[in-house]
Amino acid sequence: MKLIEGKPIADLVYEKCLQDIERLKAEGKQPGLAVVLIGDDPASKAYVGSKDKKCQELGLHSVKIEKPAEITQEELLSIIDDLNADDAIHGILVQMPLPKHLDSEEVIKRIDPAKDVDGLHPYNVAKLAMDDPTGFVPCTPGGCQRMLIESGIDVEGKHVVVVGRSLLVGKTLALLMMGKGEGGNATVTVAHSRTRNLPEVTQSADILVAAIGIPHFLGDEHVRDGSVVIDVGINRIDAPETAKGSRLVGDVDFDAVKDKCEAITPVPGGVGRMTIAMLMANTIRACEMREG
Protein backbone atom coordinates (compact mmCIF):
# COMPACT_ATOMS: atom_id res chain seq x y z
CA MET A 1 0.00 0.00 0.00
CA LYS A 2 1.26 3.43 -0.93
CA LEU A 3 0.37 6.30 1.39
CA ILE A 4 -0.42 9.46 -0.58
CA GLU A 5 0.51 12.23 1.83
CA GLY A 6 -0.59 15.78 1.21
CA LYS A 7 2.42 17.68 2.54
CA PRO A 8 5.06 16.80 -0.09
CA ILE A 9 2.56 17.49 -2.88
CA ALA A 10 1.40 20.75 -1.29
CA ASP A 11 5.10 21.70 -0.98
CA LEU A 12 5.53 21.23 -4.75
CA VAL A 13 2.60 23.60 -5.30
CA TYR A 14 4.14 26.13 -2.87
CA GLU A 15 7.54 25.89 -4.63
CA LYS A 16 5.88 26.83 -7.92
CA CYS A 17 3.94 29.61 -6.11
CA LEU A 18 7.21 31.12 -4.83
CA GLN A 19 8.72 31.10 -8.33
CA ASP A 20 5.61 32.76 -9.76
CA ILE A 21 5.56 35.37 -6.98
CA GLU A 22 9.21 36.26 -7.68
CA ARG A 23 8.51 36.65 -11.40
CA LEU A 24 5.45 38.83 -10.70
CA LYS A 25 7.47 40.91 -8.24
CA ALA A 26 9.98 41.66 -10.99
CA GLU A 27 7.03 42.98 -13.02
CA GLY A 28 5.95 45.14 -10.07
CA LYS A 29 2.97 42.96 -9.17
CA GLN A 30 1.98 41.35 -5.88
CA PRO A 31 -0.93 38.89 -5.74
CA GLY A 32 -3.48 39.81 -3.06
CA LEU A 33 -6.05 37.64 -1.31
CA ALA A 34 -8.97 38.86 0.80
CA VAL A 35 -10.67 36.41 3.14
CA VAL A 36 -14.01 37.38 4.66
CA LEU A 37 -15.05 35.73 7.92
CA ILE A 38 -18.51 36.28 9.36
CA GLY A 39 -19.20 35.21 12.96
CA ASP A 40 -16.93 33.36 15.36
CA ASP A 41 -17.17 29.68 14.45
CA PRO A 42 -13.88 28.27 15.83
CA ALA A 43 -13.23 25.91 12.87
CA SER A 44 -13.81 28.73 10.34
CA LYS A 45 -11.56 31.04 12.39
CA ALA A 46 -8.82 28.42 12.34
CA TYR A 47 -9.11 27.97 8.55
CA VAL A 48 -8.99 31.72 7.95
CA GLY A 49 -5.98 32.04 10.28
CA SER A 50 -4.11 29.33 8.33
CA LYS A 51 -4.86 31.02 5.01
CA ASP A 52 -3.63 34.37 6.31
CA LYS A 53 -0.46 32.77 7.73
CA LYS A 54 0.33 31.02 4.44
CA CYS A 55 -0.12 34.31 2.53
CA GLN A 56 2.41 35.97 4.87
CA GLU A 57 4.88 33.10 4.47
CA LEU A 58 4.71 33.24 0.67
CA GLY A 59 4.76 37.05 0.45
CA LEU A 60 1.23 37.53 -0.81
CA HIS A 61 -0.73 40.62 0.12
CA SER A 62 -3.35 39.38 2.59
CA VAL A 63 -6.46 41.10 3.88
CA LYS A 64 -8.59 39.50 6.58
CA ILE A 65 -12.04 40.99 7.10
CA GLU A 66 -13.85 39.78 10.23
CA LYS A 67 -17.43 40.84 10.94
CA PRO A 68 -19.93 39.80 13.61
CA ALA A 69 -22.62 37.20 12.83
CA GLU A 70 -25.27 39.94 13.00
CA ILE A 71 -24.06 41.60 9.78
CA THR A 72 -26.85 42.22 7.24
CA GLN A 73 -26.89 40.85 3.71
CA GLU A 74 -26.55 44.40 2.33
CA GLU A 75 -23.50 45.13 4.48
CA LEU A 76 -21.83 41.92 3.36
CA LEU A 77 -22.61 42.61 -0.32
CA SER A 78 -21.12 46.07 0.05
CA ILE A 79 -17.88 44.55 1.44
CA ILE A 80 -17.76 42.30 -1.65
CA ASP A 81 -18.33 45.32 -3.91
CA ASP A 82 -15.42 47.16 -2.26
CA LEU A 83 -13.13 44.14 -2.69
CA ASN A 84 -14.20 43.74 -6.32
CA ALA A 85 -13.13 47.36 -6.91
CA ASP A 86 -9.84 47.07 -5.00
CA ASP A 87 -6.91 46.72 -7.43
CA ALA A 88 -4.62 45.28 -4.74
CA ILE A 89 -6.97 42.30 -4.36
CA HIS A 90 -6.88 39.52 -6.95
CA GLY A 91 -8.73 36.81 -5.03
CA ILE A 92 -11.77 36.93 -2.73
CA LEU A 93 -12.82 34.08 -0.49
CA VAL A 94 -15.90 34.19 1.73
CA GLN A 95 -15.49 31.55 4.42
CA MET A 96 -18.46 29.17 4.43
CA PRO A 97 -20.80 28.35 6.01
CA LEU A 98 -22.34 31.78 6.57
CA PRO A 99 -24.81 32.41 9.42
CA LYS A 100 -28.29 31.16 8.45
CA HIS A 101 -29.89 34.58 7.84
CA LEU A 102 -27.42 35.33 5.04
CA ASP A 103 -27.94 34.19 1.44
CA SER A 104 -24.62 32.59 0.51
CA GLU A 105 -25.59 32.03 -3.13
CA GLU A 106 -26.22 35.73 -3.62
CA VAL A 107 -22.92 36.52 -1.91
CA ILE A 108 -20.96 34.15 -4.17
CA LYS A 109 -22.68 35.53 -7.27
CA ARG A 110 -21.64 39.06 -6.23
CA ILE A 111 -17.91 38.19 -6.35
CA ASP A 112 -16.24 39.26 -9.60
CA PRO A 113 -15.72 35.89 -11.41
CA ALA A 114 -12.14 37.02 -12.19
CA LYS A 115 -11.51 37.18 -8.40
CA ASP A 116 -13.49 34.04 -7.52
CA VAL A 117 -10.48 31.96 -6.42
CA ASP A 118 -12.81 29.54 -4.61
CA GLY A 119 -14.28 28.64 -8.01
CA LEU A 120 -17.89 28.61 -6.83
CA HIS A 121 -19.32 31.46 -8.95
CA PRO A 122 -21.75 30.07 -11.58
CA TYR A 123 -19.49 31.52 -14.30
CA ASN A 124 -16.52 29.42 -13.14
CA VAL A 125 -18.67 26.33 -12.53
CA ALA A 126 -19.92 26.66 -16.13
CA LYS A 127 -16.37 27.03 -17.45
CA LEU A 128 -15.41 23.82 -15.67
CA ALA A 129 -18.43 22.02 -17.11
CA MET A 130 -17.47 23.33 -20.57
CA ASP A 131 -13.82 22.20 -20.31
CA ASP A 132 -12.73 25.84 -20.51
CA PRO A 133 -9.39 25.99 -18.62
CA THR A 134 -9.53 29.77 -18.07
CA GLY A 135 -11.86 29.43 -15.06
CA PHE A 136 -11.04 28.77 -11.40
CA VAL A 137 -11.41 25.25 -10.02
CA PRO A 138 -12.57 24.88 -6.40
CA CYS A 139 -9.56 24.25 -4.18
CA THR A 140 -10.38 20.89 -2.56
CA PRO A 141 -11.38 19.01 -5.75
CA GLY A 142 -8.47 20.69 -7.55
CA GLY A 143 -6.21 19.47 -4.74
CA CYS A 144 -7.49 15.87 -5.06
CA GLN A 145 -6.78 15.90 -8.78
CA ARG A 146 -3.28 17.31 -8.24
CA MET A 147 -2.55 14.57 -5.67
CA LEU A 148 -3.45 11.91 -8.23
CA ILE A 149 -1.36 13.56 -10.95
CA GLU A 150 1.71 14.03 -8.72
CA SER A 151 1.41 10.45 -7.41
CA GLY A 152 1.57 9.13 -10.98
CA ILE A 153 -1.98 7.74 -10.84
CA ASP A 154 -3.42 8.14 -14.33
CA VAL A 155 -7.22 8.25 -14.21
CA GLU A 156 -7.70 8.19 -18.00
CA GLY A 157 -10.14 5.45 -18.98
CA LYS A 158 -10.41 4.27 -15.36
CA HIS A 159 -13.60 4.05 -13.33
CA VAL A 160 -13.70 6.78 -10.69
CA VAL A 161 -16.52 6.54 -8.15
CA VAL A 162 -17.14 9.73 -6.17
CA VAL A 163 -19.36 9.37 -3.10
CA GLY A 164 -20.92 12.79 -2.40
CA ARG A 165 -22.47 15.32 -4.79
CA SER A 166 -21.86 18.71 -3.17
CA LEU A 167 -20.78 21.53 -5.44
CA LEU A 168 -17.88 22.22 -3.07
CA VAL A 169 -16.41 18.76 -3.49
CA GLY A 170 -18.17 15.74 -5.03
CA LYS A 171 -19.92 17.17 -8.07
CA THR A 172 -16.96 19.37 -8.99
CA LEU A 173 -14.45 16.57 -8.63
CA ALA A 174 -16.65 14.42 -10.89
CA LEU A 175 -16.56 17.18 -13.54
CA LEU A 176 -12.77 17.41 -13.23
CA MET A 177 -12.28 13.64 -13.50
CA MET A 178 -14.48 13.37 -16.60
CA GLY A 179 -13.06 16.56 -18.13
CA LYS A 180 -10.65 16.54 -21.04
CA GLY A 181 -7.79 18.28 -19.24
CA GLU A 182 -4.70 16.87 -17.51
CA GLY A 183 -5.76 14.38 -14.84
CA GLY A 184 -9.14 13.81 -16.52
CA ASN A 185 -10.73 11.51 -19.10
CA ALA A 186 -11.99 9.07 -16.47
CA THR A 187 -15.29 7.19 -16.54
CA VAL A 188 -17.10 8.68 -13.57
CA THR A 189 -19.94 7.51 -11.33
CA VAL A 190 -21.33 9.81 -8.64
CA ALA A 191 -22.98 8.10 -5.67
CA HIS A 192 -24.93 9.96 -2.98
CA SER A 193 -27.42 9.60 -0.17
CA ARG A 194 -30.10 8.15 -2.48
CA THR A 195 -27.82 5.62 -4.17
CA ARG A 196 -28.99 2.01 -3.86
CA ASN A 197 -26.54 -0.82 -3.17
CA LEU A 198 -23.68 1.54 -2.38
CA PRO A 199 -21.11 -1.23 -1.69
CA GLU A 200 -21.80 -2.72 -5.13
CA VAL A 201 -21.21 0.68 -6.76
CA THR A 202 -18.06 1.52 -4.80
CA GLN A 203 -16.62 -1.98 -5.30
CA SER A 204 -16.57 -1.31 -9.03
CA ALA A 205 -14.19 1.67 -8.60
CA ASP A 206 -10.59 1.76 -9.71
CA ILE A 207 -10.39 5.03 -7.82
CA LEU A 208 -12.80 5.69 -4.96
CA VAL A 209 -13.30 9.20 -3.59
CA ALA A 210 -15.13 9.76 -0.30
CA ALA A 211 -16.70 13.22 0.23
CA ILE A 212 -19.56 12.43 2.56
CA GLY A 213 -18.98 14.00 5.95
CA ILE A 214 -19.69 10.89 8.05
CA PRO A 215 -16.76 9.50 10.06
CA HIS A 216 -15.50 6.07 8.88
CA PHE A 217 -18.55 5.65 6.64
CA LEU A 218 -16.79 3.61 3.93
CA GLY A 219 -15.37 0.32 5.22
CA ASP A 220 -14.06 -3.03 4.06
CA GLU A 221 -17.28 -3.93 2.20
CA HIS A 222 -17.04 -0.78 0.05
CA VAL A 223 -13.44 -1.05 -1.12
CA ARG A 224 -12.14 -3.35 -3.85
CA ASP A 225 -8.70 -4.99 -3.60
CA GLY A 226 -6.09 -2.96 -5.47
CA SER A 227 -8.09 0.26 -5.70
CA VAL A 228 -6.95 3.80 -4.95
CA VAL A 229 -8.83 5.61 -2.17
CA ILE A 230 -8.97 9.40 -1.80
CA ASP A 231 -10.54 10.44 1.48
CA VAL A 232 -11.76 14.06 1.46
CA GLY A 233 -13.65 13.75 4.75
CA ILE A 234 -12.58 15.74 7.79
CA ASN A 235 -14.61 14.79 10.85
CA ARG A 236 -13.88 15.48 14.49
CA ILE A 237 -14.76 12.57 16.78
CA ASP A 238 -14.50 12.08 20.54
CA ALA A 239 -11.20 10.54 21.62
CA PRO A 240 -11.04 10.56 25.43
CA GLU A 241 -7.63 8.85 25.23
CA THR A 242 -6.05 11.98 23.65
CA ALA A 243 -5.03 15.17 25.47
CA LYS A 244 -7.49 17.19 23.36
CA GLY A 245 -10.34 14.74 23.92
CA SER A 246 -11.05 14.56 20.19
CA ARG A 247 -9.31 13.73 16.92
CA LEU A 248 -9.81 14.10 13.18
CA VAL A 249 -10.83 11.15 11.03
CA GLY A 250 -11.88 10.72 7.43
CA ASP A 251 -15.00 9.32 5.78
CA VAL A 252 -13.10 6.08 5.20
CA ASP A 253 -12.28 3.52 7.88
CA PHE A 254 -8.56 3.76 7.12
CA ASP A 255 -7.41 0.83 9.29
CA ALA A 256 -10.07 -1.47 7.87
CA VAL A 257 -9.14 -0.88 4.21
CA LYS A 258 -5.51 0.28 4.03
CA ASP A 259 -4.00 -3.16 3.43
CA LYS A 260 -6.18 -3.89 0.42
CA CYS A 261 -5.63 -0.53 -1.32
CA GLU A 262 -2.99 0.16 -3.93
CA ALA A 263 -2.81 3.69 -2.54
CA ILE A 264 -4.74 5.71 0.03
CA THR A 265 -4.72 9.24 1.49
CA PRO A 266 -4.56 9.58 5.29
CA VAL A 267 -6.69 11.91 7.46
CA PRO A 268 -5.28 14.15 8.77
CA GLY A 269 -2.29 14.79 6.51
CA GLY A 270 -3.92 13.99 3.18
CA VAL A 271 -6.30 16.03 1.03
CA GLY A 272 -6.66 18.64 3.80
CA ARG A 273 -3.07 19.79 3.20
CA MET A 274 -3.87 20.59 -0.44
CA THR A 275 -6.78 23.00 -0.09
CA ILE A 276 -4.82 26.08 1.02
CA ALA A 277 -2.03 25.30 -1.47
CA MET A 278 -4.55 25.35 -4.32
CA LEU A 279 -6.06 28.59 -2.99
CA MET A 280 -2.64 30.25 -3.12
CA ALA A 281 -2.06 28.93 -6.65
CA ASN A 282 -5.48 30.22 -7.78
CA THR A 283 -4.77 33.67 -6.29
CA ILE A 284 -1.46 33.89 -8.13
CA ARG A 285 -3.16 32.86 -11.38
CA ALA A 286 -5.84 35.53 -10.83
CA CYS A 287 -3.01 38.09 -10.59
CA GLU A 288 -1.32 36.71 -13.71
CA MET A 289 -4.56 36.81 -15.66
CA ARG A 290 -5.37 40.43 -14.78
CA GLU A 291 -4.77 42.74 -17.71
CA GLY A 292 -2.22 45.51 -17.16
Measured CA to CA, the distance from residue 14 to residue 9 in angstroms comes to 9
Phi and psi angles of residue 220, each rounded to the nearest 5 degrees, phi first:
-50, -40
Residue 219 beta carbon to ligand NAD: minimum distance, rounded to whole angstroms:
13
Amino acid at 247: R
Our measurement of the distance from residue 273's CA atom to the centroid of its chain's CA atoms, rounded to an integer in Å, reads 9
Nearer to ligand NAD, 114 or 139 (CB): 139
Binding site for ligand NAD (CB under 6 A): 140, 163-166, 168-170, 191-193, 195, 198, 211-214, 232-235, 251, 271-272, 275
Residue closest to 209 by CA, chosen among 181, 188, 185, 225: 188
Nearer to ligand NAD, 84 or 235 (CB): 235
Identify whether 95 is a catalytic site residue. yes
Nearer to ligand NAD, 32 or 272 (CB): 272
Nearer to ligand NAD, 19 or 246 (CB): 246
Residue 264 beta carbon to ligand NAD: minimum distance, rounded to whole angstroms:
15
Residue 36 beta carbon to ligand NAD: minimum distance, rounded to whole angstroms:
17
Residue 287 beta carbon to ligand NAD: minimum distance, rounded to whole angstroms:
23
95, 145, 206, 253: the active-site residue: 95
51, 54, 115, 171: the active-site residue: 51
DSSP line for 106-119: HHHHHS-GGG-TT-
Identify whether 16 is a catalytic site residue. no
Strand 61-67: give its sheet, edge to edge.
Answer: 61-67, 32-38, 91-94
20, 54, 116, 118: the active-site residue: 118
Measured CA to CA, the distance from residue 222 to residue 199 in angstroms comes to 4
Instruction: Write the CB contacts of 114 (distance below 8 Å, at least 6 apart in sequence).
Output: 286, 289, 290
Residue 143 beta carbon to ligand NAD: minimum distance, rounded to whole angstroms:
7
Nearer to ligand NAD, 211 or 223 (CB): 211
Nearer to ligand NAD, 79 or 278 (CB): 278
3-class DSSP assignment, residue 211: coil
Residue 50 beta carbon to ligand NAD: minimum distance, rounded to whole angstroms:
11
3-class DSSP assignment, residue 131: coil
Helix boundaries (H) for the chain: 6-26, 42-58, 73-85, 104-110, 122-129, 139-150, 170-178, 198-203, 254-257, 272-289
Identify whether 244 is a catalytic site residue. no
Instruction: Write the CB contacts of 85 (distance below 8 Å, at least 6 apart in sequence).
Output: none
Q: Count other C-beta atoms under 10 Å from residue 145's C-beta.
A: 24
Catalytic residue IDs: 51, 95, 118
